[in-house]
Amino acid sequence: MPQPDQNLYITCPYVQATSPRHDSKYPTSARPSGTVGYDNFGSGNFTSATGFTWQGQDPLLRSIVTATRPGGSGTNAMQLHYWGGPGDSISETRFDLSASYPEIYIRWWLRVPTNFIHQQQPSASGDNNKLFFIWMDGYSGDGTGASVGWEYWSDGAGGSQLAVHHTIGNNTGAGPHLGYTPFISVPADRGRWMKLIMRVKMSSGRTVSDGEIQMWRQWADEPTPTLKHNEIGVLLPSPSSGGITAFHSGYFLGACNTGFASDTDFLIDDVEFSVTPFSEIP
């Protein structure tokens, strides 16, 4: 079964990325007018975020690295480091949007680790690893509003499948994982950059199943993104009370229930939040 997130403190050295990222197809100047948050890590120290804040993570698990060819937006990326060894591991970075958004798009770039391998666990253990989560007034079932999360699962050959699930809050627990789709192939995708676009839309009422969850993925050498998840008509209720009224917080990456056999580093770049669609979405 999936394990709850936990705090793990490790030393994460500063390193230089060696795999180029190509985002010239969508330059920084082309960001939509609906952008409400953006960070290309240009400051080199997590202070360049605009419209939102990074918080809730141990600084020893993450660092800013210099990328060889980071594209037109800057020369830095964020590294999240997983400690290698037996058992599970965790590395995440949390965000606070400082406002509530009934509908929001999230676009970001992710580099597959050069030594990536998705380990398999015994049948009694979960082999799901967290990719991205967004919630309203509480993570997963902790609040009274909805949460949406993407997790990647072993494909049995060292790679991963991606699935999405959601919860309606009120300590109900997460619903079933939906839309299993190929995510990372090994060894072909090691070192590659992908662009991910997530969209979540809150239900129009607390008992109305008209919420929406979508996700697109585009490898750096692909001309257009591909729709991977399209869950329409789901229950994504707003919180029942309090100052937070819609999607507000979340995290990138997170608990790795399978762990990694050796130290493993993901890179993240050009994180963007928007209330209007990105132009490359078909």
In a domain, 16, yes or no: no
Q: In terms of DSSP bridges, do strands 89-101 and 247-256 run parallel, antiparallel, or are they unpaired?
A: antiparallel
Question: Tens of pLDDT along 204-222?
Answer: 999 999 999 999 999 998 9
* CA-angle at 120, arms to 119 and 121, nearest 5°: 120
In a domain, 86, yes or no: yes
The pLDDT score that the predictor gives to residue 60 is 64
Report the distance separating Cα 253 and Cα 257, nearest Å: 12
Question: Tens of pLDDT along 141-171?
Answer: 788 999 999 999 989 899 999 999 999 988 7
The domain tally of the chain equals: 1
Report the distance separating Cα 189 and Cα 217, nearest Å: 13
**CATH number for 183:** 2.60.120.200
In a domain, 28, yes or no: no
Neighbours of 220 (CB within 10 A): 18
In a domain, 170, yes or no: yes
Quote the domain boundaries for residue 44.
39-274
pLDDT-based confidence at residue 3 (cuts at 50, 70, 90): very low
Distance, first Cα to last Cα, the chain:
36
Question: Tens of pLDDT along 56-102?
Answer: 666 667 788 877 544 546 788 889 888 887 777 788 889 999 999 99
* Phi, psi angle pair for 149, to nearest 5°: -140, 145
- Beta carbons of 51 and 273 less than 8 angstroms apart: yes
Within 8 A by CB and 6+ apart from 201, the residues are 102, 103, 211, 212, 213, 236
- Beta carbons of 259 and 117 less than 8 angstroms apart: no
In a domain, 213, yes or no: yes
Question: Tens of pLDDT along 173-199?
Answer: 778 899 999 999 999 999 999 999 999
The pLDDT score that the predictor gives to residue 68 is 56
Give Cα separations from 84 to 12, 59, 157, 177 (angstroms). Answer: 12, 18, 19, 27
The pLDDT score that the predictor gives to residue 15 is 33
